[in-house]
Chains A and B, each alone.
Chain A
Amino acid sequence: MNRTRSHRAGSVWFKILILFLAFHSVAHAHLTIEGVGQVGSGIMHPLMTPPHALILLTLALCLSQRQPFDIGKPMLVFSSVSAVALLLTIPGFFEEVSPVILIGIALGIAIIVAVGKPTPAWSGWVLCGVAAAGIGLDSKADSGSWAEILKTLLGTWLAMNGVVAYLAAVCAHSGEKLWSRTAVRIAAAWIIAICVMMLAFSFRKVS
């Protein structure tokens, strides 16, 4: 009797299992939102492109060291120039920026951070402009419709500005402590070392 009952129960579970296996492809628990594909890949672009990520990190460190901490105007310059530079890639005027120039930008900013001397306010705007132009012009979207290209560039623009503002704010939050300022300068020194080696690699490949 018990054996028959357990046999029936087993048979039911087996049928349910077969049903799950037969119809598993119908299930769609995770829905994709239209448009996120392009925006998402645009967001990932500066984060996954090493020279871009290096510039963004270095610029954020640089802005965080300004006393008093105020990234309003520099970020205005950065967001404006990055928007213009990204839009300039649409007609195809700029295919890419030489990696040597991008590494050079990161190196220049890292040297300023590592030296740790106070610099005039306008220098921050210039650095933001140069960094934004370099990354923006090097972020040409792949082929696609106008809407897709614009969504990709929007993602890139959001990531560029978000990363710089967020990292600068985080670093500046503990920026008045000596260990924090020292850590920032050490990080900048390491970035200088990385950039110097990358430049050497680039020149070796050229030669």
Chain B
Amino acid sequence: MTVFLLFFVLPSTASAHAETGSVGGFVSGFNHPLHGLDHIVAMVAVGLWGAFLGKRAMWMLPVVFPVVMAIGGALGVLNVPLPGVEMGIALSGIILGIMVAAAAKPPLWVAALIVGTFAIFHGHAHGTELPKSANAMTYAIGFVVATGLLHLAGIAFGLLDQWVWGRWLVRAGGVVIALIGCGFLFGYL
């Protein structure tokens, strides 16, 4: 009876089902970008801003972000130090949120530069946090697909821009993203 009760009292210490193999790698990689509000808002903001900037940018930014983020991730995996990662991530939410809120339309290369710079920080953070036992291929696929889907979610939201009410809604989304970024920068989140 005592042993039986112990089983019920201590269930959380048990971990009989470990994530291993290909599925574990994919699920682990897929979940990783989705388990941080800071990452989510930045990636959605990239999609939102892209939708604001026009058709070319709408697809250019989601191409730039994962590639540069992967380079940042590689630096993180290889333990190459990068200063100010946390601040860079918080600033990414603020800057990208402001860009969306202000409906800013800089030249495409400037937008790509801004997005690419922040992608390095996000990638580096992911790279240093990722599990050592993960299956490299499936982890990378899950990670990139989740990131891409967050961009697509942002683009889908940004497409509301074609209606007046939608435009205000998208800009309000930018304000919320900037506020979340401020929350991270000043330690409220």
- B-contacting residues of A (Cβ < 8 Å)? 50-51, 54, 114, 182, 185-186, 189-190, 192-194, 196-204, 207
Contacts and interface: CB of A to CB of B under 8 A. Distances in A.
Given A50-B138, A186-B62, A196 B78 contact: no
A31 B73 CA distance: 50
Contacts of A196: 67, 70-71, 73-74
B50 to A, nearest CB: 12
Contacts of B63: 114, 185-186, 189
Interface string B59-76: 100111011011101110
A200 B137 contact: no
A193 B77 contact: no
> Chain B interface secondary structure, helix, strand, loop or mixed?
helix
B6 to A, nearest CB: 40
Contacts of B127: 197, 200
Contacts of B75: 200
Interface residues of B, number: 26
Nearest to B79: A204
B69 A193 contact: yes
Contacts of B182: none
> Chain A interface secondary structure, helix, strand, loop or mixed?
helix
A106 to B, nearest CB: 11
18 contacts: A50-B137, A51-B137, A54-B137, A186-B59, A186-B148, A189-B64, A192-B70, A193-B66, A193-B70, A194-B144, A196-B73, A197-B73, A197-B77, A197-B127, A197-B139, A197-B140, A201-B139, A204-B78
B167 to A, nearest CB: 23
B10 to A, nearest CB: 35
Contacts of B70: 192-194, 196-197
A193 B140 contact: yes
A182 B59 CA distance: 7
B78 A193 contact: no
B141 interface: yes
